[in-house]
Structure 1
Amino acid sequence: MPAPSETTTTQRPLDADAFARYAVRDPLEVAHLLKALVEKRLLLTAFIDGGESFITLTLAVTDDGAVIVDACPDEIRNAKAGSAARLVCTTRLDNVKLQFALETPARIDYAGRPALRAALPESIIRLQRREFYRLPTPQTEPLVCVITHVPENGRRQEVLVRIVDISGGGLAVLVPPRELPFEPGTEYSQCSLRLPDGNPLPVSLKVRNLFEVEKANGVKVLRAGCEFMGLSNPATARIQRYMFKLERDRRMREEH
């Protein structure tokens, strides 16, 4: 079965099950994303039980764990929204597609205007450009991966490689001088990704491409673009949490 693609679902909600691996589930991260929608006053498209839709706005994220969105100006459609089992909301934040479901929204008055209130969604699908948005890793806290290789002589090798960027679909590494054969198509099924937020994460990698890069000091290095193979949903979620923290830290540095 081919990987899900956003291109055929631009005008409709994404299949939440098909894109579950891209879901942010941490309650703090969910609240953070929704508050960003409030601060930037980004428009949402809300689908009533997956059918007809209307344009709305995220008005507030409350301290008691609820989200409030603007009502639909059309009263008939607003009544449908207020009695719906769910509203599936989609938008874009910093060119990243977001989708979340508001379960059993209730009609309320908020700041003197009609609105809809629902519990904070359990998850938000966060689909980056081309599904795999690449982020450079910090030089001050290098991210590394240990690749286990068993050559023809049978002597097991564990080689540490430096990761220069990472995405939900793979990573790019600095190719070690001699320890490992890096050629397009080479597969390494026993790798250990050392993320800073817990135990090493077991992953499998396939080398997709090689390219030479000249550093600022004139030294030329070889990089390999590698694809994750068979990455589980929990592993994907953990990588996305790490990427989310990288982005958040970068923005904080830019603001200060």
Structure 2
Amino acid sequence: MSEQSAASDGDKYTIHSRQEIRTLLRRLSEQHCLLTAYFDEGRHFLLTAILGFSEDGRYLVLDASPDQDINERTLRAKRLLCSSQLERVELRFGTGPAEMIQHEGLPAFRVPAPTSMRYLQRREYYRLLVPVTHTLECVIRFPADEHRHARTVQTRVIDISLGGVALLLPPEAKDEFEPGAMLPDCQLTLPDTGRIEATLRVCHVFETNDGRGLPRTQAGCEFVALATQSQSLVQRYILRVERKRIARERGLI
């Protein structure tokens, strides 16, 4: 995410009132909303939450990451571009630099309170149910950590839109997907269209049954800062599938 993309929706969505900004930030904190802080031109991010505020309201306290490398990168960043959702409305603001402090005995970041904020009603995207005539897969690569080796998980895409995807998770991998988790290394191959690389944010995970009554796990994920070229490929794929469906219903194919 860039400053330009954060400011591309028109001044009518920009809030400058200090009181209104403070109210929205407090609601984010009280509702324990996750907040993603992007830096290094969007190449890295910190998944965090607002823990509190300074007494004079000039600073926010953000939760630190358990990953020390991410914390060090955050401290080196001159600018953080933050994004969150409050009751299905997207909020964006810039801040920085961050400094490390102790908050209630634990490491945290202190950042300047924003002087402006974008308050964006989310667009509703047309969601395509992937036809059973072909398989659309999302391959997700997980890096190695202290508990596991690097691994690749193949998931089946149930539906897709410009906003995100619904994934059918293999039973052995469902514990990898937790609400709020960021999946930065995902690849989708769109049949007869092309391949896209994407970052996904897990919005929700739920259990359901297939047509035979067998349990299965699905994850609803949203695209994070999807590149314009990738958006075009997704749109092209959706249009191609819809045209074929309409032609089939009319007996043209």
The alignment's TM-score, normalised by the length of structure 1, stands at: 0.48
The alignment's TM-score, normalised by the length of structure 2, stands at: 0.49
